[in-house]
Amino acid sequence: MTGSSQTTGAKWIAAAGAAAAIFVLSLSIGRYPLTPAEVARALAQALLGRDFGMGAEAMAIVVDNRLPRALAGCLTGAALAAAGCAFQGLFQNPLVSQGVLGVSSGAGFGAALSILIFSGTRFAPTFAFVFALAAVWMSFLVARMCGEVTSLMLVLGGTIISSIFSALLSFLKYVADPNNELASIVFWNMGSLASVESTVFPFAAAAMLAGMGLLVLSGWSLNALSMGDREAKSMGLDVGKARLAVVAGATLSTAGAVSIAGTIGWVGLIIPHMARFLVGSDNRRLIPFSMLLGAAFLMGIDLLSRTLTGAEIPLGILTSLIGGPFFIYLLRRYKGGGWK
């Protein structure tokens, strides 16, 4: 027992350390390289308001340019990973990810619609957020139409609504002007942290933090819900309310994330599995740990996306290209980790 809790503690420290290290690296590395010490001085100068000898140029790069992007990556990664854990537990299915109730396809459609209406991406985050929430709400309606809302009906409703929004997105792509609108839509849907707007970011961050808070507190309910609706009910859980809290938390997290970063797949699917190998399946530990891993992973991916080549590589491409092989390594290392 003692031995296992010691190694578990070490894993938490390692994950938190990795996230912190990647955060600092994200502020240091780039076309204008800074040492971690310079980054620390710039941050202190901005926070404390005293002069630590950093010039205006370095301050602009660290505080105005790299810091918001690193924070956005950190929050987005954590939010997508937490939502992935929540949906996997809720639907007792390790293969679902944050998009299962239509959040991602709703957001994708909303962003595309705003790009067509306003000929630009200015309102894409707002539209993405609104349509992400609308898609989940519609999934609920579909589930309710067929009688009592069960997890199975909910996932069926989500599948239907997702496919409708995907079809609508395809239609918008088809009618979009191929010279610039289509490119914007396609690029937005590949995911990027390059254009996080300071006007939108606080709202998205608030949604993600509220959602993640709800999910962290729903750990026990998720353990119970993952035993199936009937068993959870007979243990004394108010299944309807508990499920609503989980869906609300996961939806706010994901909608906040996709509204600023576009649709980034894979993180919500794979990070919960990696975390499960490392700290086990108890959602009370799994969700916070997944958030740490997700934050570290997405900040790292974003760092690579802007430094590997002269042009930015969309995040969605890198998350899969790097996450896939890493997941294979973990599967080998943990021999399936208790999966039958």
Within 1-60, the residues that bind another protein by CB under 8 A are 1, 4
In terms of CB distance, is 50 or 340 closer to another protein?
340
Q: Does 118 contact another protein by CB under 8 A? A: no
Of 6, 145, 234, 308, the one binding another protein (CB under 8 A) is 234
Interacting residue with another protein among 223, 263, 319, 320 (CB under 8 A): 223
Select the span of 112-120, 226-234, 258-266, 305-313 touching another protein (CB under 8 A).
Answer: 226-234
Binding segment toward another protein, per CB under 8 A, in 30-38, 193-201, 214-222, 300-308? 214-222
Question: How many residues sit close enough to another protein to count as binding (CB under 8 A)?
Answer: 41
Residues 249-288: x where in contact with another protein by CB under 8 A, - otherwise, as a string:
---------------------------x---xxx-x----
- Three-state SS for the chain is CHHHHHHHHHHHHHHHHHHHHHHHHHHHCCCCCCCHHHHHHHHHHHHHCCCCCCCHHHHHHHHHHHHHHHHHHHHHHHHHHHHHHHHHHHCCCCCCCCCCCCHHHHHHHHHHHHHHHHCCCCCHHHHHHHHHHHHHHHHHHHHHHCCCCCHHHHHHHHHHHHHHHHHHHHHHHHHCCCCCHHHHHHHHHHCCCCCCCCCCHHHHHHHHHHHHHHHHHCHHHHHHHCCCHHHHHHCCCCHHHHHHHHHHHHHHHHHHHHHHHCCCCCHHHHHHHHHHHHHCCCHHHHHHHHHHHHHHHHHHHHHHHHHCCCCCCCHHHHHHHHHHHHHHHHHHHCCCCCCC
- Tell whether residue 202 is a contact of another protein (CB under 8 A): no
Q: Which of 8, 65, 92, 307 binds another protein (CB under 8 A)?
A: 92
Q: Candidates 71, 81, 113, 245: give the one binding another protein (CB under 8 A).
A: 245
Q: Is 89 in the site for another protein (CB under 8 A)?
A: yes
User: Which residues of the chain form contacts with another protein (CB under 8 A)?
Assistant: 1, 4, 88-89, 92-94, 214, 216-221, 223-224, 226-228, 230-239, 241-242, 245, 276, 280-282, 284, 337-340
